[in-house]
Amino acid sequence: MVTIEGPLSVKEVCDLFKLQRIDVIKKLMNFGIMNVNQRLPLEVVIKIAEEYKYTVKVLTAEAESQMAEEADDHSKMVPRPPIVTIMGHVDHGKTSLLDAIRKTNVVESEDGGITQHIGAYQVDLPGSGQRITFLDTPGHEAFTQMRAHGSKVTDIAILVVSADDGVQPQTIEAIDHAIAAEIPIIVAINKIDKPGANIDNVKKQLAEHGLVPEDWGGDTVCVEVSAKQRINIDGLLEMILLVSEMRSLKADPTRKAVGAVIESRLDKGFGPVATILIQKGTLQVGDPVIVGCTCGKVRSMANARGEKMARAIPSTPVEITGLDEVPQAGDKLKVVTSEKVAREIATHRQIAMREERMKLKKHISLSELFSEIQNGKVKDLNIIIKGDVAGSIIALSDSLKKLSNDKVRVNVIHNNVGAITENDILLAAASNALIIGFRVRPSALAEKLAETEKVDVKVYRIIYDAIDQIQQAMVGMYDPTYKEVVLGRAEVRQVFKISHIGTIGGCQVKDGKITRDATIRVVRDGIEIYEGKLKSLKRFKDDAKEVTNGLECGIGMDKFNDIKEGDILEAFEMQEVKPSEMSGQAQSKENRR
């Protein structure tokens, strides 16, 4: 009888079952496992154990079963306050609105009443006995990040639109993020005190983006407010309650608590501190909990006013102490039967998480689309389109939607002009979407994030290529014969115009290297403006074969003289894809040229 907690290495298997390495490797080959450097999945370890007549006890299987979602008992469900997130374009007044709401309605505490930032707060509505919970990190970025990490906490989104500025790019982004999460939107038309306020114009723009105001015959609730002058804040709160009543939000406060981390930090005195939003059940001081990959026992709980609490019911945000480590925003909290069980699950999860990181694919990719459709795993193909001009985006979006068939529906969940940003990657991760860039590039940070979040980003220069590849992928004919490999990037620091020669960019290599034979893509503000070969690559006066990271060089482009300061010159080459590599390309940008 042996006890194991998770996947083991070949060496650990040898030690545990007293076997020779060669015997284990032979067994693995029989199972079709050729890579002996990887940790072996539990089921393989168990199979080997069984062959050598060992009984295996998987320590955590029992404990983990406690983590299975318990079904709700409908007879015990009672109404709970709605949880609200504020979104909108920068400077439209999200922070001011959160402050105005907090100041008008939070019951002041006895010791001066200044609320602390713990990531969320609750307001009491006088007279009605009702409450609303606000997440006070405004913006759809934080919201989608939580969603990408598996936590859906928000019930209603408040979209703040400034009455004098109207619908702006981040307004549209916020709308798409809320719709992708399937939560209702209430529009707060803000700054109505300003002389330039034009409410009708805002409503017209909203209607153009699919949010038709109620007084225009649609079903979007719009409330006119001024966060600065505190005008109609109560009206907004009433509307939130009305919308939440229609959704009849309920939870069972009698069960063991389930919640989500909305913020966390390491405190010098208290150790790991996390703000938990309770979603189901009641959390009590002393409860043993598992939170993401860490665990502990709730030592203390406090609300946003710093008041100690002994228990927290659904929709209440509380700051807790007593965890072993700092969890991540978006991690789930669950109360379990004992600290011992919590510890076992945490150990198991840490191993599982390492495994998870080693696995190649998480989100949908073109190369696996067909098999996922066939397995019935993908019924909706979600796509985000970013492009250099609105016209091409619309054309591409319309054509892609037409590819829908009876097995899979193509949805364009977000599109916009501009470079591929980190927000796009997060939205793709949260909504299992592909990203298509048309003559635009991911920013360096977005590219890194795409790699960690395993989001497939494809860039094209020709609309037909994009449509063709996705169509091919849907029927299993996708054949990325070549993939693009980025060699490096240089930034243009200075521009020299030299007669008879042309324009030379005085550049610094920012990452990787620039080689004489590479193809160069000229990227300005994330938009691809030219692609072609090099005419010259020089270090000081000498011709260079390649220039590496950190060094300066002069670059002349063939047939292109419009280099400007700040341009990014991206060097890449096309490499043939070997069949064995095909399944593991989460983030390559295949192109067929």
Q: Which residues bind ligand GDP (CB under 6 A)?
A: 88, 90-96, 138, 190-191, 193-194, 226-228
Residue closer to ligand GDP (CB basis): 99 or 552: 99
Residue closer to ligand GDP (CB basis): 173 or 567: 173
Q: Which residues contact 513 (CB under 8 A, 6 or more apart)?
A: 487, 488, 546, 547, 548, 549, 571
**Shortest Å distance, C-beta 232 to ligand GDP:** 10
Q: What angle do CA 349, 351, 354 make, to 5 degrees?
A: 105
Residue closer to ligand GDP (CB basis): 165 or 176: 165
Burial of 310 (0-12, 13-18, 19+ CB in 10 A): exposed
**Shortest Å distance, C-beta 98 to ligand GDP:** 8
Burial 63-74, CB ≥16 within 10 A → b, else e: bbebbeeeeeee
**Shortest Å distance, C-beta 87 to ligand GDP:** 9
**Shortest Å distance, C-beta 194 to ligand GDP:** 5
Residue closer to ligand GDP (CB basis): 224 or 567: 224
Other CB atoms within a 10 A radius of the CB of residue 545 amount to 10
Q: How far apart are CA 428 and CA 433, in angstroms?
A: 4
**Shortest Å distance, C-beta 427 to ligand GDP:** 19
Q: How far apart are CA 422 and CA 442, in angstroms?
A: 8
**Shortest Å distance, C-beta 233 to ligand GDP:** 10
Host H or E run for residue 409: strand 409-417
**Shortest Å distance, C-beta 181 to ligand GDP:** 20
Q: Are the beta carbons of 572 and 478 closer than 8 angstroms? A: no
Residue closer to ligand GDP (CB basis): 90 or 501: 90
Sign of CA dihedral 292, 298, 299, 302: positive
Residue closer to ligand GDP (CB basis): 229 or 371: 229
Residue closer to ligand GDP (CB basis): 93 or 272: 93
With CA atoms as reference, report the closest residue to 132 among 233, 261, 254: 233
> Cα dist. 344→4, 259, 293 in Å?
11, 20, 10
**Shortest Å distance, C-beta 542 to ligand GDP:** 50
Pairing relationship of beta strands 409-417 and 380-387 according to DSSP bridges? parallel
Q: How far apart are CA 459 and CA 450, in angstroms?
A: 13
With CA atoms as reference, report the closest residue to 258 among 235, 275, 282, 274: 282
**Shortest Å distance, C-beta 235 to ligand GDP:** 14
Residue closer to ligand GDP (CB basis): 130 or 226: 226
Residue closer to ligand GDP (CB basis): 144 or 190: 190
Burial 92-103, CB ≥16 within 10 A → b, else e: bbbebbbebbbe
Q: In the structure encoding, which two tokens stand for residue 21, read together? A: 């390495």
Q: Is 582 helix (H, G, I), strand (E, B) or coil?
A: helix
**Shortest Å distance, C-beta 575 to ligand GDP:** 44
Residue closer to ligand GDP (CB basis): 227 or 384: 227
Residue entry with tokens 């000081």: 540
Host H or E run for residue 324: none
Other CB atoms within a 10 A radius of the CB of residue 215 amount to 9
Residue closer to ligand GDP (CB basis): 170 or 585: 170
Q: In the structure encoding, which two tokens stand for residue 7, read together? A: 């996947």
Q: In the structure encoding, which two tokens stand for residue 70, read together? A: 């318990």
Q: Is 298 helix (H, G, I), strand (E, B) or coil?
A: strand
Q: Are the beta carbons of 133 and 83 closer than 8 angstroms? A: yes
**Shortest Å distance, C-beta 80 to ligand GDP:** 27
Residue closer to ligand GDP (CB basis): 191 or 256: 191
Residue closer to ligand GDP (CB basis): 130 or 190: 190
Sign of CA dihedral 175, 177, 179, 185: negative
Largest CA distance in the chain: 85
**Shortest Å distance, C-beta 95 to ligand GDP:** 3
Q: How far apart are CA 49 and CA 402, in angstroms?
A: 53
**Shortest Å distance, C-beta 189 to ligand GDP:** 10
